[in-house]
A and B are shown apart, each in its own frame.
Chain A
Amino acid sequence: MRHARLTVRGHAPGTQDSRRVPRALHPVAWWIWALGLVIAVSRTTNPLLLILALSVLGFVVANRRTDAPWARAFKYYLTLALIVIAVRIVFQSVFGSGIQPGDHVLFRLPQIRMPRWYQGVQIGGPVSLEATLAATIDGLRLGTMICCIGAANALANPKRALRVLPGALYELGMAVVVSISLAPQLIESVQRVARARQLRASQRRGFSALRSIVIPVLADALERSLLLAAAMDSRGYGRTGEATRTARRLTATLMLAGMAGVCVGCYGLLSGSAPRLLGTPVILLGVVLCTAGLALGGRRVRRTHYRPDPWRAPEWIVAGCGLISAVTLYLSTGYSAAGLNPSFSPLRFPGLPFLPAVAILIAAAAAFAAPPPRRRMSASGLDGPEPIPGRMARPEVSA
């Protein structure tokens, strides 16, 4: 945090290399980094490694997030992770399976006797330290994976990330962007209507109470979507350019055939009994067809990108850090694989395997490799009194 602040405020020019100029890192680099950590984390149940990974995430987010609204999301993912752990423990305690004879029993829940034909599930009964510990660690692993995704969302603007979609998929990306923008408005409108409902002191409960909130909110949302659609239409969204009917049909055919090819290929690859020719070659064919379809579809969409994010050295390093973590933990060569998944019966403190720990720590290098984010400069007084539109010097504008 402090490091970033200092860079933003800026020392004397020249004391910092050009890489330190605040800018947004390419969103795809952050996503590769985060997904790399997801893969790494998914390989281990060592609580020390998991906590190390969480610390790395927290460190990088604290150092490299902007002050945009989505960047504040990380703490919600952390909360979600805690909930996941709690739910996992509760389930483990209630449906207490996996208790070994020698376990340390913490306490006993009242047990419900199941009918004979339903013996497989046990509800209640003894809760052991070992099983609870295993559940906690399992929850922690899932929680850490959620936090990895949360970190990517906090570090990279999700809307900018969607921009890298090929032109032919632009409409899909646009739909996601619009729904992301509408979600907070929907929440705001639910709060407003719920508050207004008190004014009428409706005595209704249950379904009709729900209705008195849902109907105004939906009507509101519908009105808003129509306004938005009209505005997007007026601003040129969906201009078709010079696509001919045959070109559109060709695109659709290529895409469909490509998708079918990928599906059949996956089946061929996974099913042991399918002929070998149905595997890799068909997938490759499918991919080629899809790419051709996307390229052709992208050609009919005439659209440009404003200030596309560059892909430079920091992007390579950040993405590389994530990949190194993933590959090291995935291959599990050079160290004992048992260190990744320590056993807790009998109870003992897990050891910290050296190589995986280093691999996860390498991911923290992203905090230094990524350029400092651009922050809003409200602190420096740029937000002060606004210039009056009518009175300011105007640059030449050709209309």
Chain B
Amino acid sequence: MIDFDRVTITYDGAERPVLREVSLHVAEGELCLVVGRTGVGKSSLLGAINGLVPHFTGGTLAGRVKVAGRDTATCPPRELADVVGVVGQDPLAAFVTDTVEEELVYGMEQLAIAPEVMRKRVEETLDLLGLAALRDRPLHEISGGQQQRVAIGTVLTAHPRVLVLDEPTSALDPTAAEEVLAAITRLVHDLGLTVVLAEHRLERVVQYADTVIHLPGDGSAAAGAPSEVMLTATVAPPVVELGRLVRWRPLPLSVRDARRRAGPLRARLPVHPPSAPENGAAPGETTLQARRIIVRYGDLIAVRGVDLTLSAGEICAVMGRNGSGKSSLLWAIQGAGRRQGGVVELAGRDPKHLPPREARELIALVPQTPSDLLYLNTVGAELAQADRESAGSKSPATRELLDQLAPEIPDDAHPRELSEGQRLSLVLAIQLRAAPRVMLLDEPTRGLDYGAKRTLRGIVRRLAAEQRSVVIATHDVEFVASTCDRVVVMGDGEVVSDGPTPEIVVASPAFAPQVAKIVTPLPYLTVAQVAEALDPSCALPEVIGG
């Protein structure tokens, strides 16, 4: 169905090609997963399938890409629209019209499909993806999972034979991700579509893949059966890391596979993990007390009277589905966002009533899109600006802070050209320059690969070791399991549960990390804990992940 024949892709001005001499074959009806760290060329590989690379992005493509017999050298993306459907990470950015039904039709109108056929296909697609009740709804009013399903629907109406999905669930909460993945697997199984999928959160998708294409980062690509490729892949979900650790062959890819093999492992593991996953520091004195916080946007009540107390050195996760009030709570506590009711007490003062400059010396927030805080042309200028902004603070210079978080970011780099992880580090360093006692992070793991998350975990733990309180709003169960001491689960603007990570996370099937699901009822959360229990002297830094 898809053939890559010695494909080399070089972008203009790049020193070396992103992909070098890649030859691949994806057979009809396969679900093919593309894995690799950030920046190894996953998106370039996907873009080459429908000719967006190089027709749209620029650069040079040597070799030949053929899809359903058509050569992308002679067919630009628009001429391949009836064969390849492409869905990106942010569905809203790709919508052209404003209601569900019109959006489904748009592609067909471009392809000049007869009105009666369009009518029929719209109804079919609405049913196929479970969107019938949403047909007249404006696109920006429906949930993220529904938007992503609409985005898939919009390309399906053209009846393509290949579906290309570039990180379709990255921006979604676990439930919405499930919803989208269920739709995708259904398309593969029922319609026989060929699907090529790239995803960071491998724990969500690897078990559905028929083949895996691994991009190790040197421009090459290796394709093969998932259980073989994942043995040595540079990125791996916890279930695969556990499988590698205890040498299960063939490698289990799903919790179910691993659970069926885990009997002997459970027998070998001590009943209590040797150490808690967190840094183990006893919570210090209370730093922040928030009482009866209320946030409302018109009729919508985002946060309904939430109480939250934080201690020094504590890492607290705030979880809950999209729209449950996590972000609103963080912004309300920081004082920059809306707050219609309640008080926050931090060092005897309420940050809302302080000028922003003083408030950020007590409590800092890194927003969901960190780049909103960056506006200068170079990293060096941003750092100098941050030093000027926090002139009175006792903390080290911003450059020093940045080097601790992410070494080797040159002064002359443009902030927009940094990777997600580097940009997060830069903003974190800028906010840390004011030496706040409480640090709030809104969705920091979005767009980070496993390596970058590991780095972030180290950073967060260091902040806690310096007796700061850290609050992280996130969907990332595995990150919470390996990093946070405490979890607050929110639903509909209220706190649903609040307690130590092991208790909260293991108690709920939706929030349990993969390792917990595999070894339950034993209270293990991460591969690192299992490794330590099996071999107390073991130091396997490359295995410890999550």
| CB atoms of B375 and A304 under 8 A apart | no
Q: A193-B372, A395-B124 in contact; A382/B133 too (CB < 8 A)?
A: yes
Contact with B along A305-326 (1 / 0, CB 8 A): 1111000000000000000000
Q: Which of A177, A231, A394 meets B94, CB within 8 Å? A: A231
On chain A, the residues within 8 Å of B182 by CB distance are 388-390
* CA–CA, A69 and B136, complex, Å: 12
Does B257 make an interface contact (CB < 8 A)? Answer: no
| CB atoms of A237 and B110 under 8 A apart | yes
On chain A, the residues within 8 Å of B331 by CB distance are 195
Q: A200-B430, A235-B107 in contact; A389/B56 too (CB < 8 A)?
A: no
| CB atoms of B115 and A304 under 8 A apart | yes
Q: Which of A203, A212, A224, A236 meets B107, CB within 8 Å? A: A236
Q: A199-B373, A216-B371 in contact; A239/B110 too (CB < 8 A)?
A: yes
| CB atoms of A392 and B115 under 8 A apart | no
On chain B, the residues within 8 Å of A184 by CB distance are 140
Does B510 make an interface contact (CB < 8 A)? Answer: no
| CB atoms of A236 and B81 under 8 A apart | yes
| CB atoms of B364 and A233 under 8 A apart | no
On chain B, the residues within 8 Å of A198 by CB distance are 336, 356
| CB atoms of A303 and B50 under 8 A apart | no
Q: Quick check: which of B190-198, B464-472, B501-509, B524-532 contacts chain A, the rest being far away?
A: B190-198
| CB atoms of B133 and A386 under 8 A apart | yes
Central interface residue in B82, B109, B140, by most chain A CB within 10 Å: B109
* CA–CA, A69 and B34, complex, Å: 39
Does A166 make an interface contact (CB < 8 A)? Answer: no
| CB atoms of A231 and B357 under 8 A apart | no
| CB atoms of A399 and B337 under 8 A apart | no
Contact with B along A161-172 (1 / 0, CB 8 A): 000000000000
Does B353 make an interface contact (CB < 8 A)? Answer: no
Contact with A along B117-158 (1 / 0, CB 8 A): 011001110011110010011101000001001000011001
| CB atoms of B375 and A235 under 8 A apart | no
Does B159 make an interface contact (CB < 8 A)? Answer: yes
| CB atoms of B133 and A234 under 8 A apart | no
| CB atoms of A201 and B109 under 8 A apart | no
* CA–CA, A155 and B107, complex, Å: 26
Does A219 make an interface contact (CB < 8 A)? Answer: yes
Q: Which of B88, B111, B127, B375 meets A231, CB within 8 Å? A: B88
> Shortest beta-carbon distance, A361 to chain B, in Å?
33
* CA–CA, A211 and B86, complex, Å: 35
On chain B, the residues within 8 Å of A230 by CB distance are 52, 56, 77, 88, 94
Does A15 make an interface contact (CB < 8 A)? Answer: no
> Shortest beta-carbon distance, A205 to chain B, in Å?
13
> Shortest beta-carbon distance, A179 to chain B, in Å?
12
Does A333 make an interface contact (CB < 8 A)? Answer: no
| CB atoms of A227 and B94 under 8 A apart | yes
Q: A201-B389, A306-B122 in contact; A234/B127 too (CB < 8 A)?
A: no
* CA–CA, A234 and B87, complex, Å: 9
Does B341 make an interface contact (CB < 8 A)? Answer: no
Q: Which of A227, A236, A383, A397 meets B128, CB within 8 Å? A: A397
On chain B, the residues within 8 Å of A304 by CB distance are 108-109, 112-115, 118
Q: A203-B389, A233-B52, A234-B86 in contact; A196/B124 too (CB < 8 A)?
A: no
On chain B, the residues within 8 Å of A200 by CB distance are 360, 373, 386, 389, 430-431
| CB atoms of B191 and A216 under 8 A apart | no
Q: A201-B389, A304-B109, A389-B182 in contact; A228/B191 too (CB < 8 A)?
A: no
| CB atoms of B98 and A196 under 8 A apart | no
Beta-carbon nearest neighbor of B140 in chain A: A184
Q: Which of B86, B94, B136, B364 meets A199, CB within 8 Å? A: B364
| CB atoms of A216 and B372 under 8 A apart | yes
Does A253 make an interface contact (CB < 8 A)? Answer: no
User: How many of chain B's residues touch chain A, expressed as a range?
Assistant: 35 or more
> Shortest beta-carbon distance, B474 to chain A, in Å?
18
* CA–CA, A392 and B376, complex, Å: 51
Beta-carbon nearest neighbor of B183 in chain A: A389
On chain B, the residues within 8 Å of A69 by CB distance are 98, 138
Does B93 make an interface contact (CB < 8 A)? Answer: yes
Q: A235-B107, A302-B112 in contact; A215/B375 too (CB < 8 A)?
A: yes
| CB atoms of A307 and B96 under 8 A apart | no
Does B79 make an interface contact (CB < 8 A)? Answer: yes
Within 8 A of B (CB), among A189-234: 192-193, 195-203, 211-213, 215-216, 219-220, 224, 227-234
Within 8 A of A (CB), among B488-521: none
On chain B, the residues within 8 Å of A383 by CB distance are 133
Beta-carbon nearest neighbor of B416 in chain A: A219
Majority secondary structure, B binding face: helix
Within 8 A of B (CB), among A240-280: 241
> Shortest beta-carbon distance, B75 to chain A, in Å?
11
Q: Which of B50, B137, B372 meets A192, CB within 8 Å? A: B372
Does A358 make an interface contact (CB < 8 A)? Answer: no
> Shortest beta-carbon distance, B373 to chain A, in Å?
5
On chain B, the residues within 8 Å of A199 by CB distance are 334, 336, 356, 360, 364-365, 367, 373, 431
> Shortest beta-carbon distance, B535 to chain A, in Å?
41
Q: Which of A177, A228, A384 meets B93, CB within 8 Å? A: A228
| CB atoms of B359 and A389 under 8 A apart | no
On chain A, the residues within 8 Å of B111 by CB distance are 236, 239
| CB atoms of B81 and A307 under 8 A apart | no
Does B78 make an interface contact (CB < 8 A)? Answer: yes
| CB atoms of B129 and A389 under 8 A apart | yes
Does A336 make an interface contact (CB < 8 A)? Answer: no
* CA–CA, A331 and B215, complex, Å: 76
Beta-carbon nearest neighbor of B113 in chain A: A304
Does B186 make an interface contact (CB < 8 A)? Answer: yes
Q: A201-B359, A306-B119, A374-B136 in contact; A236/B82 too (CB < 8 A)?
A: yes
| CB atoms of A231 and B138 under 8 A apart | no
> Shortest beta-carbon distance, A222 to chain B, in Å?
10
On chain B, the residues within 8 Å of A241 by CB distance are 112
Within 8 A of A (CB), among B350-372: 355-357, 359-360, 364-365, 367, 369, 371-372
Does B76 make an interface contact (CB < 8 A)? Answer: yes
Beta-carbon nearest neighbor of A232 in chain B: B96
Does B374 make an interface contact (CB < 8 A)? Answer: yes
Q: Which of A195, A228, A388 meets B337, CB within 8 Å? A: A195
* CA–CA, A241 and B367, complex, Å: 46
On chain A, the residues within 8 Å of B86 by CB distance are 231, 234-235
Q: A196-B373, A234-B84, A305-B115 in contact; A159/B128 too (CB < 8 A)?
A: no
> Shortest beta-carbon distance, B427 to chain A, in Å?
9
* CA–CA, A202 and B434, complex, Å: 12
Does B21 make an interface contact (CB < 8 A)? Answer: no
* CA–CA, A259 and B110, complex, Å: 28
Q: Which of B90, B355, B365 meets A227, CB within 8 Å? A: B90
Q: Which of A203, A215, A303, A394 meets B109, CB within 8 Å? A: A303
> Shortest beta-carbon distance, B187 to chain A, in Å?
8
Q: A181-B96, A228-B93, A304-B112 in contact; A234/B367 too (CB < 8 A)?
A: no
On chain A, the residues within 8 Å of B159 by CB distance are 398-399
On chain B, the residues within 8 Å of A306 by CB distance are 102, 105, 108-109, 115, 118-119, 122
| CB atoms of A196 and B357 under 8 A apart | no
* CA–CA, A216 and B161, complex, Å: 39
Does A238 make an interface contact (CB < 8 A)? Answer: yes
> Shortest beta-carbon distance, B509 to chain A, in Å?
16
Q: Which of A234, A303, A389, A398 meets B52, CB within 8 Å? A: A234
* Sample of 20 A–B contacts (CB below 8 Å): A159-B97, A197-B372, A197-B373, A199-B356, A200-B373, A203-B357, A215-B375, A228-B93, A230-B88, A231-B96, A236-B107, A236-B110, A238-B78, A239-B78, A239-B110, A304-B109, A304-B114, A376-B137, A388-B182, A394-B128
10 tightest A-B CB contacts, nearest first:
A236-B81, A231-B94, A236-B110, A196-B372, A201-B356, A201-B357, A215-B375, A306-B105, A302-B112, A227-B93
Given A237-B78, A306-B105, 4 additional A-B pairs, CB 8 A: A199-B373, A233-B52, A384-B133, A389-B186
